[in-house]
Amino acid sequence: MENYLKLSVIGKGAYGTVYKVKCRTTGKEFALKHHKDKVQDTTVRELSVLTALKGHLHVVYMHDCFVSDGRVAMLLSYVPYTLSGVIHNGHGLNMCHESGQVKQLIPLSFVAHFSRQVAHALSYMHALNMVHRDLTPFNVLLTEDLTVKLADMGLSRQASEWMSPNLVTEAYRAPELFDQCERYCLEYTCAIDMWSLGVTIADAMEGKVVFYNRVDQHQETIPTYEIIVKTLGPKPFVYSNCILGS
Ligand SMILES: Nc1ncnc2c1ncn2[C@@H]1O[C@H](COP(=O)(O)OP(=O)(O)OP(=O)(O)O)[C@@H](O)[C@H]1O
């Protein structure tokens, strides 16, 4: 750790803090994800998934991994942008005026571009029987030349018959996960990642989070599952694993 100078905090997540750091010998910049807790199952899974996917063009590259203050630190390539910054906040986009409202222009070619690259990374993971379980526009990073680098494998794991329901940011969570959320372990497949990709594409087309938590006229929060059903119709969809096969 002494070999890296901390420049700034990039993000704080459930599992730790991500710093922008500079190597004191080479001057090269990296992202350093320092876990906040001692080693847990999720840390080991994140490491093993990042190792298995190492070298894939559309997965963030882990250069090194070490222990600092008894906690795991992962040295990753620094990737400056997030897809959320582009599709939710309009970073780098032109604006247009439509019906008196300022609207972001997200070129369809860009939607096709990032979808194809995310799908490429997911298809590689799924072929290795790994499920990401937290695909959101916040975890899709973009380089200067807009190459997708999938990040945050903190919830990723080898798919198995029964897995925990405690995953995926709600707005991107597949319906089968809500349906069974009372249960301790669930039956679902890699298809849940495809649902998350679909919602990410919908966000990009709309320029906003489509399944965000809203409040009704009585100031009660409408559950995300209800918003999905209201948007797509009653029991509108076959669950993602039925649509896409497992
Ligand atoms: N390699 C990277 N380069 C630049 N920024 C990064 C990199 N990795 C992560 N980040 C930023 O740091 C944030 C948090 O990282 P990450 O999602 O891996 O942490 P986490 O603790 O697992 O978070 P979460 O609670 O969202 O699961 C990301 O949303 C992203 O903006």
Q: Do domains 4-77 and 81-244 have the same CATH topology?
A: no
**Sequence spans of domains, the chain:** 4-77, 81-244
- Give the model confidence (pLDDT) of 88-112 as tens digits: 877 665 555 555 555 557 888 999 9
Q: Ligand 1 test: best mutation among 7, 8, 9, 10, most atoms within 8 Å of CB? A: 10
Pull the structure tokens for residue 90.
């309009």
Q: Which CATH fold would you assign to the domain 4-77?
A: Phosphorylase Kinase; domain 1 (3.30.200)
DSSP bridge pairs for 76? 31, 62
Q: Higher-confidence residue: 95 or 55?
A: 55
Beta bridge partners of 142: 81, 148
Question: Which helix (DSSP H) or strand (DSSP E) does residue 63 occupy?
Answer: strand 62-68
Tell me: the pLDDT tens digits for 165-191? 666 788 998 887 876 555 555 667 888
> In this predicted model, which residue has the larger pLDDT, 36 or 60?
60
Ligand 1 pocket, residues with Cβ under 6 angstroms: 10-11, 13-16, 18, 31, 33, 60, 76-79, 82, 134, 138-139, 141, 151-152, 154
- The Cα-based distances of 181 to 25, 39, 100, 178 in angstroms read 49, 27, 42, 5
Pick the CATH number of 81-244 from 1.10.510.10, 3.40.190.10, 1.25.40.10, 3.40.470.10: 1.10.510.10
Write the CA distances from 44 to 48, 73, 201, integer angstroms.
6, 12, 30
**Band of residue 79 on the pLDDT scale cut at 50, 70, 90:** very high
pLDDT for residue 243: 45
Specify the residue with its C-alpha closest to ligand 1, atom 31. Answer: 11
Residue 59 Cα to ligand 1 midpoint, Å, equals 13
Confidence (pLDDT) at 103:
59
> pLDDT tens-digit profile of 194-222?
999 999 999 999 888 888 877 777 777 88
| pLDDT of res. 242 | 47
pLDDT averaged over every residue in the chain = 84
ipTM of the complex: 0.92
